[in-house]
Structures are given as C-alpha cells and as structure tokens.
C-alpha cells in the first residue's frame, strides 16, 4: 500500500480515518439511491393508471423484473403491513388513502435502539451472545418485525423502554439447560407482543440445576429456583395481542442437596420452586445447617399481564425441585414457585421434625 507522506496508518484505517469515512460515505450514497429508487417506484404506482392492478400484482412484476428482491404482506390489527427487500436492505411500506410511501428499516441486532427493525434469520443466527437485548431509555420505543421463521436457543431481554414485537412467522425460543428465561422483561419495561394469524410462538425457559451435596450434613444448599418462560416481575408489563398462538413453558427447579451419609440424623435441603409459564421466577429451596433448617424463599410476584384480541395463550409452570434425602430429624423448606398465567400461584413445602405442612398462596394477575 502506498502511504502518503505525513499520513499514519491510524489516520487511514481508524474509526474516524480516511478509509472508514470513505466507506461510510459510499454506503450512505448507496442507501440513498436504493431508497430513492423505491420511492420513484411507488410514485409510479400512486399516480399511474393502475388498470385494476393490485399492489400485490404490481410488486410481483417488480420481483420478476429484478427491481426488488422480495416482499411480504402482514395483516396486523386489520391493517395491511408490508416489508420489501432490495439490495440486501429492508424497507417498511405504509399506506394512507391508497398512497404508498417507503421507509428504510434497520437490521442491526444485538442492542436494539429506537426505531423500526426487521429481524431476518441470518442476522438472528449471527448473534454471538445468543441474546437480543433492548436498551431503551424511559419513554423511548422500539419496534421489531420478524421476517423469517426462527427456531433456536435464544432469548430476548427487555431492559427498559416500550418495545413492540411482531411475530409474523412461527418462532421457537428453546432455552432448556440455560440460566435464563426465554423472554425477560425487566421491572419498569413494557413488551407489546403481537402474534399474527397462523403464527405460533413457543418459549421455553432455563431449567435450574441440582444443588451440590456438600461434604457434610451441616452445609447443604437448597435447590435453585427455576426461570419463568416469560419473566414478568413486579413493575414489568406484558401486553399480548393478535390472533396467533403463544405457548410459554416455565423451567423445572433444582433438587435440594442430599446428606452425604446416613450416620447423621439430619435431613436434606429443600427443593427449589418452579418457574411460571408467564410470571415470576421460582424461589430457592431452604438450606440446612448444623441444628436447624431454613424455610425456602418465596417465588417472585408477577407484574402486569394483559391479553387482547383473539390470541390463544397456553402457559405451563415447571416442576418444583425434590427435597434432598431426609432422615427423621430435619429437612429444609422448599422454594416458592410460580404456576399458570391465570393465577401465578406460589407454593412451597415446609418440613419441621417428621411433619410436612403444605401451603398455597394465590396471586391473581388477570
């Protein structure tokens, strides 16, 4: 490479270098040219003699001629939505009084910023941390439209703001064996989940692991509480809309630690609480110590969940963890769990010297 006198490599290739700026300028020019070409294409349809040609027929002819790569139609809230792909870029088409306009949609995933983003299979599978995160400030909003069918162990984490997600194709987020929920809505955040007609979204949360047995009966850990399929803690909001199907499955909790030898008159630790299909995570099971056992922790309360339209929701809580092997003297309490979308009920077991007591506590969310 020929380096000009007085110009360093950093000045050429750095984040603000000559080559970087030139590449960005070229990309901006190509983006502007593609957008302008689509605007002219729709202007031709808006003011031209349609001869009863529908917008779908018009776009099909443009695909055949190579002017656009492909297009998709979606019916959302009885309103037609359209996405067009051209030159490896995606554009959102809006309609007002039979007049069509086009706006480019972002496609960069990972940390989502405000705006409209289309999610494709290639980009979704290109996430290197197996997680899509939404980092929005209070009052900001972001919209995602899933363009392709997704089926892989990924999770979505909404850290803040108001996020709207359109699921237009079947989607399965399986997180079995991972320490996370399939969808995790943080307190203060809102997720508007719209599942289109004929689309099914299945989310499966992480399963907790068994606690270690330890080396003595004096220090046994309670089972780990499981994750909810869709985690909606207190302060979080989930609005489910559309006419498709949602299946949410909570995780199974971890078993309590087991006494390493039966020569001691001590019991095992309590099992963890199950994760809700939609709602809170399960609580940790009670630990055992030298001469007493602790109660298990309560499962999380559920935030606000609203269901609209004709969407069908199936929510299944996971399985509570088993208590560790017990002797007649003592065992710890199990962790609180969460079950079912209709009540997100919290259950746990308590053990006191040869006698088990059961308790249920109801937390209505609907």
Over the stretch 12-58, which tens digit does the pLDDT of each residue have? 455 566 777 787 788 778 878 888 888 888 888 888 776 777 888 88
pLDDT exceeds cutoff 50 at 366: no
Spatial neighbors of 17 by CB under 8 A, at least 6 apart, are: 10, 11
Q: What are the sequence ranges of the domains in the chain? A: 31-105, 111-361
Q: Tell me the CB-side half-sphere exposure of residue 117, using CA atoms within 13 A.
A: 23
Spatial neighbors of 332 by CB under 8 A, at least 6 apart, are: 220, 222, 256, 267, 268, 269, 270, 285, 286, 287, 288, 293, 294, 295, 296, 323, 324, 351
Q: Which residue has the higher pLDDT, 262 or 361?
A: 262
Over the stretch 127-182, which tens digit does the pLDDT of each residue have? 656 667 766 666 777 777 776 777 777 778 888 888 888 888 888 887 776 778 88
pLDDT exceeds cutoff 50 at 95: yes
Please give the mean pLDDT across all residues of the chain. Answer: 69
- The average pLDDT across 296-325 equals 77
Over the stretch 215-229, which tens digit does the pLDDT of each residue have? 444 566 655 667 888
- Residue keyed to tokens 């996020």: 163
- The average pLDDT across 296-320 equals 81
pLDDT exceeds cutoff 60 at 63: yes
Stated pTM of the model:
0.65
């Amino acid at each position: 490479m020929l380096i000009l006198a007085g110009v360093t490599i950093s000045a050429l290739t750095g984040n603000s270098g000559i080559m970087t700026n030139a590449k960005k300028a070229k990309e901006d020019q190509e983006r502007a040219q593609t957008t302008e070409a689509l605007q002219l294409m729709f202007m031709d349809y808006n003011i031209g003699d349609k001869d009863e040609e529908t917008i779908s027929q018009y776009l099909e002819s443009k695909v055949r001629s190579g002017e656009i790569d492909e297009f998709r139609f979606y019916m959302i809230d009885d309103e037609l939505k359209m996405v067009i792909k051209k030159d490896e870029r995606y554009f959102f088409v809006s309609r007002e009084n039979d007049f069509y306009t086009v706006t480019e949609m972002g496609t960069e995933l990972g940390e989502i910023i405000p705006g409209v983003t289309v999610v494709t299979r290639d980009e979704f599978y290109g996430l290197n941390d197996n997680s899509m995160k939404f980092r929005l400030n209070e009052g900001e909003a972001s919209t995602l439209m899933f363009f392709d069918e997704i089926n892989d162990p990924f999770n979505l984490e909404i850290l803040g703001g108001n996020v709207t997600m359109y699921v237009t194709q079947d989607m399965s987020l399986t997180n079995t064996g991972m320490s996370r929920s399939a969808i995790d809505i943080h307190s203060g955040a809102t997720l508007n989940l719209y599942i289109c007609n004929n689309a099914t979204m299945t989310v499966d949360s992480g399963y907790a692991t068994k606690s270690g047995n330890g080396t003595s009966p004096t220090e046994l850990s309670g089972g780990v509480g499981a994750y909810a399929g869709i985690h909606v803690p207190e302060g979080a909001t989930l609005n489910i809309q559309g006419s498709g199907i949602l299946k949410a499955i909570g995780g199974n909790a971890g078993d309590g630690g087991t006494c390493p030898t039966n020569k001691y008159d001590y019991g095992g630790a309590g099992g963890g609480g199950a994760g809700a299909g939609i709602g809170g995570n399960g609580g940790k099971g009670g630990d055992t110590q030298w001469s007493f056992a602790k109660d298990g922790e309560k499962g999380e309360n559920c935030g606000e969940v609203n269901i609209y339209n004709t969407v069908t929701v199936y929510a299944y809580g996971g399985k509570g963890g088993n208590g560790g092997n017990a002797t007649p003297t003592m065992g710890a309490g199990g962790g609180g769990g969460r079950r079912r979308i209709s009540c997100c009920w919290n259950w746990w077991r308590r053990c006191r010297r040869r006698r088990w007591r059961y308790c249920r506590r109801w937390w209505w969310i609907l």
